[in-house]
Amino acid sequence: MPAAILMKKDLKSWVGSLTDAYTVYAPKPKGNDFAFERIHSAEEIVLDYSKTILPLKKFLIPPSEPILRFEEGSVRRPPEAKGASKTLLFGVHPCDASSFAVLDKVFINEHKDDRYAKRRENIVTVLIACSEPRETCFCSSMGTGPSLERGYDVLLTDLEDRYLVESGSSEGEALIKMILGASLPKPIDFEKKKRSIEDTLKKFKRKVVIDRLPELFQKNLDNPMWNQIRDIDLACGQCVLVCPTCYCFDIRDRSEVTSANGERVREWDCCVLLEFAEVAMGGNFRKDRGARIRQFMGHNLSYGVEQFGRFKCVGCGRCIQACPVHIDITEVASKVRGG
């Protein structure tokens, strides 16, 4: 069944069926924000959430994970990576789902990472189209929202008392077949979806004009704005850590007191930190804070197009929301256009 209508009153039973078959994670309240956490019933899910604290890359590239264990002359790999069983992410926003395509290019297409590939193979996504973008969102400019045409297993669109449920894969079709009492959608349901997307597009407050943006960015590498940003930037790294497509990591060895035992750990790293570009003898080819934030934004708005064939930025707006000094990547994009 490629598409169906799910009445909202039947959501509970469907989620119940999904939790019986998968390990399900969904958006749950966490303080004043939201986070994707393990759920066991539909009552725990908040589908009208704004944005999660961390992006969903945490399910594919954990913030920190051991990759080797050494013990007095022997070295062994840790047990199978978490995520080896089927994991269903329920209520994913389109922008976050779009980030997986970038990560796939890095960890599967360019240099296959077995741990990433195993997790990716076992990730199932149920998306929900956005209807109320936050002030910091600009996914409509990047072509990653408020809905998607591909890149998901199931897509939900809120139609007031019901959801239009569409499959994007064979696994998605199997999920739809698990809906008890599902009915086939009518042409009017697809028309309502179209109007919902059109109405949502009018609500975005931020916009990035992407035409020629990569080229213009590279012509503005010496723009005085980088000095202005340098003077206020804290180089705290929050923008990078919450970016759904940033993938740099560091490898560290952690030894126990005897130094004979310990583990090698892979951890998220951050290009805006001073130590990131530091090399032997204390040399640092990106010591200036302005150069480091330029690298982060340049990868998202320019260099990523040549590397991935698409913008690395998915327009989620997390970097804007997380920045304590209000540096705004959409304003930077406007300034390189002369705005």
Residue-by-residue DSSP string for 87-132: EEEEEE-HHHHHHHHHHHIIIIIIS--HHHHHHHHTEEEEEE--SS
52 shares its domain with 140: yes
Low-confidence ranges of the chain (pLDDT < 50): 83
Write the burial class of residue 258 (CB in 10 Å: 0-12 exposed, 13-18 middle, 19+ buried).
exposed
User: What per-residue confidence (pLDDT) applies to 328?
Assistant: 98
242 token code pair: 């919450």
pLDDT of residue 83: 47
Q: Is residue 171 part of a domain?
A: yes
Same structural domain, 69 and 171:
yes
Same domain, 148 and 260: no
Q: Is residue 75 part of a domain?
A: yes
Question: Same domain for 272 and 300?
Answer: yes
Domain boundary residue, one of 178, 201, 224: 201
Report the C-alpha gap between 294 and 288 in whole angstroms.
10
Total tally of structural domains belonging to the chain: 2
What is d(CA 148, CA 167) in angstroms, rounded to the nearest whole number?
A: 12
Model confidence pTM above 0.85: yes
- Asked if residue 208 is part of any domain, the answer here is no
- Rounded Cα distance, 55 and 59, in Å: 9
CB 123 within 8 A of CB 172: no
What domain range is 101 assigned to? 3-201
Q: Are residues 21 and 149 in the same domain?
A: yes
- Please tell me the total number of residues recorded for the chain in this structure: 339
- Position 111 scores a pLDDT of 86
Does residue 154 sit in the same domain as residue 232? no
pLDDT tens for 188-217 read 999 999 999 999 999 999 999 999 999 999
Where does a domain end: 201, 224, 247? 201
Asked if residue 275 lies in contact with residue 268, where contact means CB atoms within 8 angstroms, the answer is no
Q: pLDDT tens-digit profile of 71-107? A: 877 888 777 655 457 999 999 999 999 999 999 999 9
Of 176, 201, 226, at which residue does a domain stop? Answer: 201
Q: Which residues contact 301 (CB under 8 A, 6 or more apart)?
A: 208, 213, 214, 217, 311, 312, 313, 329, 332, 333, 336
28 part of a folded domain: yes
- On the question of a cis peptide bond just before residue 146, with omega within 30 degrees of 0, the verdict is yes
Asked if 92 and 223 sit in the same domain, the reply is: no
In this structure, what DSSP letter does residue 37 have?
E
Q: Which amino acid is at 211?
A: D
For residues 187 and 219, state if they share a domain: no
179 DSSP assignment: S
* Tokens describing residue 222: 């010496």
Q: Residue 254 burial by CB count (10 A; 0-12/13-18/19+): exposed, middle or buried? A: exposed
Q: Is the CB of residue 40 less than 8 Å from the CB of residue 103?
A: no
Verify that 156 and 292 share a domain, yes or no. no
Joined tokens for residue 99: 């980030």
Tell me how far apart the alpha carbons of residues 69 and 252 are, in angstroms, rounded to a whole number. Answer: 12
Listed in sequence order, the DSSP H helices in the chain are 11-21, 94-104, 114-121, 139-142, 170-176, 187-201, 213-218, 225-232, 238-241, 289-298, 304-308, 318-322, 329-336
Distance CA 40, CA 88 (A): 12
